[in-house]
């Protein structure tokens, strides 16, 4: 994709569906995509997802993680809402990832299938606590390779792992990166962060940004600044 605005996905992390819809409407002239995550999904349900998906490129970020049969059924239901992209945790394992792939195979409208590698809120020091050895980067690469073998279109990873994922899998394997922060912006609960220009310079495809835009006094201006920051890398 040559158009940097098209790489931006704004996380509509709001509990009020009306506010989410008006924010999407306000930002849509920029030509960006949107993401519905757990909070807005719990507030607005599938009907809101279908409504937003009929107007915009919509990433449904519910991070499915279940037994293969249940995950595949959820993927089928999600796809029927007309979404552009959805995700499952790679740590759900090969059988779950293959079942998800098979679930979308026969559909007329196939959403992009993206595997979550390691949450961007996790740092190296958190891994031992959850029983993982190796660094976050090593674990991300392992999961990216597994997702690619299972026919996934790409992964969610941190900006810091984009180049390693592309090198380990392929240039065309999509990376979706949350953890985007400019200058001295507040990290909140994110640990593995980088600036928009750095993600573009390392070959990243889609940048997910939530609070730096949804919490800004002028979200349109904030989104425009992030797109302008991507241009710096060109
Ligand atoms: O507000 P912020 O820019 O940190 O938002 C990042 C968004 O990306 C949130 O909606 C979060 O749920 C999502 N996300 C993430 N890390 C992942 C996958 C999704 O931060 N690995």
- Rounded CA-CA distance 127/135 in Å is 8
* 207 pocket-lining for ligand 1 (C-beta < 6 Å): no
pLDDT at 172 (0 to 100): 98
> Quick one: pLDDT at residue 2?
55
Q: Which residue's CA is the nearest one to ligand 1's atom 10? A: 11
- Ligand 1 centroid distance, CA of 37 (Å): 9
pLDDT, tens digit, 9 for 90 and up, residues 136-180: 999 999 999 999 999 999 999 999 999 999 999 999 999 999 999
Longest Cα–Cα distance of the chain, Å, equals: 46
CB 183 within 8 A of CB 196: no
pTM over 0.75? The answer is: yes
Other beta carbons within 10 Å of 102: 15
Nearest-atom number in ligand 1 for the CA of 61 is 19
In short, whether 136's Cβ falls inside 6 Å of ligand 1 is no
Phi and psi, residue 194, nearest 5°? -160, 165
Q: Is 19 in the pocket of ligand 1 (CB under 6 A)?
A: no
The answer to whether the beta carbons of residues 220 and 16 sit under 8 Å apart is no
- DSSP secondary structure code for residue 217 in this structure: S
Sketch the domain layout of the chain as residue ranges: 4-231
Tell me the three state secondary structure of residue 156: strand
At 141 the pLDDT is 98
Is the CB of residue 96 less than 8 Å from the CB of residue 70?
A: no
Query: Residue ranges of the chain with pLDDT lower than 70?
Result: 1-2, 234
Residue 151's alpha-carbon distances to 80, 111, 185, in angstroms, are 20, 13, 36
Q: How far is the CA of 80 from the centre of ligand 1 (A)?
A: 24
Question: What six digits make up the tokens of 196?
Answer: 């928009």
Active site residue 63: yes
Query: What is the predicted pLDDT for the residue at 233?
Result: 72
Q: Which among 63, 94, 166, 187 is annotated as catalytic?
A: 63
Whose Cα sits closest to atom 14 in ligand 1?
178
Architecture per CATH, domain 4-231, reads as: Alpha-Beta Barrel (3.20)
Q: d(Cα 43, Cα 30) in Å, to the nearest integer?
A: 26
C-alpha separations of 3 from 31, 135, 173, 222, 230 in Å: 9, 33, 18, 18, 10
210 Cα: distance to centroid of ligand 1 (angstroms): 7
pLDDT of 128: 92
Beta carbon of 226 within 6 Å of any ligand 1 atom: no
- pLDDT for the residue 202: 94
Residues 149 and 143: their CA atoms lie apart, in Å, by 10
Q: What is the DSSP string of 10-47?
A: EE---S-HHHHHHHHHHHGGG--EEEE-HHHHHHHHHH
Residues in the chain: 234
Q: Look at residue 106 in the predicted model and tell me its pLDDT.
A: 87
Confirm or reject: Cβ of 44 under 6 Å from ligand 1.
no
User: How far apart are the CA of 155 and the centre of ligand 1, in A?
Assistant: 13
């Amino acid at each position: 994709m040559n158009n940097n605005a098209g790489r931006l996905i704004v996380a509509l992390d709001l509990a009020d569906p009306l506010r989410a819809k008006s924010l999407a409407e306000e930002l849509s002239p920029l030509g960006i995509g949107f993401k519905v995550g757990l909070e807005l999904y719990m507030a607005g349900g599938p009907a809101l997802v279908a409504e937003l998906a009929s107007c915009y490129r919509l990433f449904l970020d519910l991070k499915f993680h279940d037994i293969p049969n249940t995950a595949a059924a959820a993927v089928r239901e999600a796809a029927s809402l007309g979404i552009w992209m959805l995700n499952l945790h790679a740590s759900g394992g090969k059988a779950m990832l293959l079942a998800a792939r098979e679930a979308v195979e026969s559909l007329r409208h196939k959403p992009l299938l993206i595997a979550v590698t390691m949450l961007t809120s996790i740092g190296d020091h958190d891994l031992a606590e959850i029983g993982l050895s190796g660094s976050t980067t090593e674990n991300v690469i392992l999961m990216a390779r597994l997702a690619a073998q299972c026919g996934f279109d790409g992964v969610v990873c941190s900006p810091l792992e984009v180049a390693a994922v592309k090198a380990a899998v392929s240039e065309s394997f999509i990376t979706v990166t949350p953890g985007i922060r400019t200058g001295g912006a507040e990290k909140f609960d994110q640990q593995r962060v980088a600036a928009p220009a750095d993600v573009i310079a390392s070959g990243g495809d889609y940048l997910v940004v939530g609070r730096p835009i949804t919490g800004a006094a002028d979200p349109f201006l904030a989104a425009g600044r992030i797109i302008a920051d991507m241009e710096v890398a060109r």
